[in-house]
Chain A
Amino acid sequence: MEIPEGLRYSKEHEWVLVEGKTATIGITEYAQEELGDIVFVELPEIGEKIVKDDPFGAVESVKAVSDIYAPVSGTVLEINDSLPDSPETINDDAYGDGWMIRVEMQDMDDLKDLMTAEEYAEYIEQQKEDDDEDEEAEDDDEDEE
């Protein structure tokens, strides 16, 4: 699974590209794969303020809707205009053309809570292991029956 170096990652599976005080935000490869076919994206408007750990938008797959949480606080400078018409871009290119918004960061300290690529790789590995353990625990239950 692709986890580019140089980006920062949140526990809610957003990525952040930091350039000076500007942060570009999207969802990770892992997130888009978990969601499946994305068919609708709701983004904030330019000038809107987003607050760290609060939802700033939503992505909808055929099956369900998921909030997207702000990994940092700031003011929206730009949104990806192509997503409303082709939300599947997020499935195809989560770290590139599938970017969602650009914000001017309010507090650079927000970045301290985000993970490096290496940390994020460990984090999702851990999540997968937890899933597998649940399954193994279930298998054990069945053996006992």
Chain B
Amino acid sequence: MKRTPLYAAHRRAGGRMVEFAGWEMPVQYSGVIAEHMAVRSRAGLFDVSHMGEIAVRGGGAEAMCQRLTANDLARMQVYQAQYNLLLNDQGGVIDDVIFHKRQPDDFLICVNASNSEKDFEWLRQHATGKIQVENVSADYAQLALQGPLAETILQPLAPIALADIKSFYFAESEVAGTRCLIARTGYTGEAGFELYCSSQDAEKLWHDLLDAGAPAGLVPAGLGARDTLRLEKAYPLYGHELDERTTPLEAGLQWVVKFSKGSFIGCEVLLRQKQAGVERKLVGLELIEPGIARSEYRLLKDGRYIGRVTSGTRSPTLGRSIALGYVEAEEGRAENILEVEIRNKPVCAKTVPLPFYRR
């Protein structure tokens, strides 16, 4: 199993290590609920160095990436970040990623750990001429500082005015003397930053941030809290809500798909699907009887199979049992009562608007 540069620091901090996408990662330190609530009310620091980074640069890089993705990269300014999807020719999602435009025709793409090799191969295959595609995952560590106090904690450590970095923009600067790409992005539904630094600087940055943030209540947070936080905000998790047989239109990500930008891989299938309507769609569910819906549990309507749960938990913020799942499109209507099959018993749930939580 792979380890991030912070493995020893996690062990020392009492992190409980588990396998995730081939990496040995901390799932929790003090407890998932305590860490979750710390991020919602104060701030949490996550080691997300398992995430991959791929650099695509050289003349034609933007045009190539436009062909491979759903969102419109031409709309980006330098120092802007963009949520995007790599699609296959069936409109299925190869990966959901964040593009960072460092210069014209110079992108740093943050990709899912489980997909980094696959993405790298896919991008490399499509590179022509002077375009360089480089898997730089091992060079980078990534820390996510998330929560309402994130900016208050980070500002004294940064030589630039963080207020100038708008949502989905970034700066190339320093944090406590460590060179960093500071992006105002995140996966928790709270304000915050994702910091990309050199792997060798990760441990110093980790401790500098925790030391600086401790008086404000900053705590290290694990993948357990990261999952419950993203689920409350209904952010998709690759392998659960997204995969190569699922299109962005089914996943409720039509806002990412910019047909106006011109042709891209998968766009014909998506256009047809848009015109005909999707057959299944992602819905938010709230259980109205006791129980917790888990990934792969069957969804029924009056006993008839209509789909499956992709993620579910008890929401620490809301105190309710929430889930995401795919159902036949017509059963995705608002306030529809359906059943989740939990240990062979039907448990009533209703469809609710997404996200479950909004700050």
> Beyond A42-B343, A138-B1, is A65–B292 a contact (Cβ under 8 Å)?
yes
B residues near A92, Cβ cutoff 8 Å: none
* A62 with B290: CB separation less than 8 A: no
| Cβ 8 A contact of B31, one of A37, A58, A65, A138 | A37
> Beyond A60-B292, A65-B292, A138-B1, is A40–B28 a contact (Cβ under 8 Å)?
no
* A84 with B343: CB separation less than 8 A: no
Complexed CA–CA distance, A64 and B227 (Å): 12
Q: In the complex, how many angstroms separate the beta carbon of A127 from the nearest chain B beta carbon?
A: 15
> Beyond A37-B31, A138-B1, is A62–B294 a contact (Cβ under 8 Å)?
no
At the interface, yes or no: B112 with Cβ under 8 Å from chain A?
Answer: no
Which of B27, B291, B292, B294 has the most chain A CB within a 10 Å cutoff? B292
* B292 with A37: CB separation less than 8 A: no
Q: In the complex, how many angstroms separate the beta carbon of B314 from the nearest chain A beta carbon?
A: 4
Complexed CA–CA distance, A54 and B314 (Å): 26
Complexed CA–CA distance, A42 and B347 (Å): 13
* A40 with B292: CB separation less than 8 A: yes
Complexed CA–CA distance, A61 and B31 (Å): 11
> Beyond A42-B343, A62-B313, A138-B1, is A36–B290 a contact (Cβ under 8 Å)?
no
Interface 0/1 of A25-48, CB less than 8 Å to B: 000000000001101101000000
Q: Which residue of A lies closest to B291 (CB)?
A: A40
> Beyond A58-B343, A62-B224, is A39–B292 a contact (Cβ under 8 Å)?
yes
| Cβ 8 A contact of A36, one of B1, B32, B292, B314 | B32
Q: Which residue of B lies closest to A58 (CB)?
A: B343
* B1 with A62: CB separation less than 8 A: no
Q: In the complex, how many angstroms separate the beta carbon of B179 from the nearest chain A beta carbon?
A: 28
Interface 0/1 of B74-100, CB less than 8 Å to A: 000000000000000000000000000
* B314 with A62: CB separation less than 8 A: yes
* B314 with A40: CB separation less than 8 A: yes
* B227 with A63: CB separation less than 8 A: yes
Q: Count the A residues whose beta carbon is within 8 Å of the partner chain — how many?
A: 14
Taking CB atoms and an 8 Å cut-off, the chain B residues in 277-291 that contact chain A are 290-291
Complexed CA–CA distance, A58 and B32 (Å): 19
* B294 with A65: CB separation less than 8 A: yes
Q: In the complex, how many angstroms separate the beta carbon of B111 from the nearest chain A beta carbon?
A: 24
Taking CB atoms and an 8 Å cut-off, the chain B residues in 1-60 that contact chain A are 1, 16, 27-28, 31-33, 36
Q: In the complex, how many angstroms separate the beta carbon of B321 from the nearest chain A beta carbon?
A: 8
Complexed CA–CA distance, A62 and B28 (Å): 11
At the interface, yes or no: B247 with Cβ under 8 Å from chain A?
Answer: no
B residues near A63, Cβ cutoff 8 Å: 27, 32, 224, 227, 313
Taking CB atoms and an 8 Å cut-off, the chain B residues in 242-290 that contact chain A are 290
* A62 with B33: CB separation less than 8 A: yes
> Beyond A42-B343, A62-B314, is A37–B1 a contact (Cβ under 8 Å)?
no
Q: In the complex, how many angstroms separate the beta carbon of A52 from the nearest chain B beta carbon?
A: 19
B residues near A64, Cβ cutoff 8 Å: 294
A residues near B294, Cβ cutoff 8 Å: 64-65
A residues near B36, Cβ cutoff 8 Å: 62
* B227 with A36: CB separation less than 8 A: no
* A37 with B343: CB separation less than 8 A: no
* B343 with A36: CB separation less than 8 A: no
B residues near A60, Cβ cutoff 8 Å: 292, 314
At the interface, yes or no: B316 with Cβ under 8 Å from chain A?
Answer: yes
| Cβ 8 A contact of B33, one of A37, A40, A58, A84 | A37
At the interface, yes or no: B137 with Cβ under 8 Å from chain A?
Answer: no
* B291 with A37: CB separation less than 8 A: no
Complexed CA–CA distance, A42 and B290 (Å): 9
Taking CB atoms and an 8 Å cut-off, the chain A residues in 43-92 that contact chain B are 58, 60-65, 84
Complexed CA–CA distance, A108 and B227 (Å): 45
Taking CB atoms and an 8 Å cut-off, the chain B residues in 226-244 that contact chain A are 227-228
* A36 with B291: CB separation less than 8 A: no
Complexed CA–CA distance, A65 and B291 (Å): 10
Complexed CA–CA distance, A39 and B33 (Å): 10
* A62 with B343: CB separation less than 8 A: no
Apart from A36-B16, A39-B314, A40-B291, list 16 A-B contacts with CB within 8 A.
A36-B28, A37-B31, A39-B292, A40-B290, A40-B292, A42-B290, A42-B291, A60-B292, A62-B33, A62-B36, A62-B314, A63-B27, A63-B313, A65-B294, A84-B290, A138-B1
6 A-B contacts (beta carbon < 8 Å): A36-B224, A40-B321, A62-B224, A62-B314, A63-B313, A65-B294
3 A-B pairs closest in CB distance: A39-B314, A62-B32, A37-B33
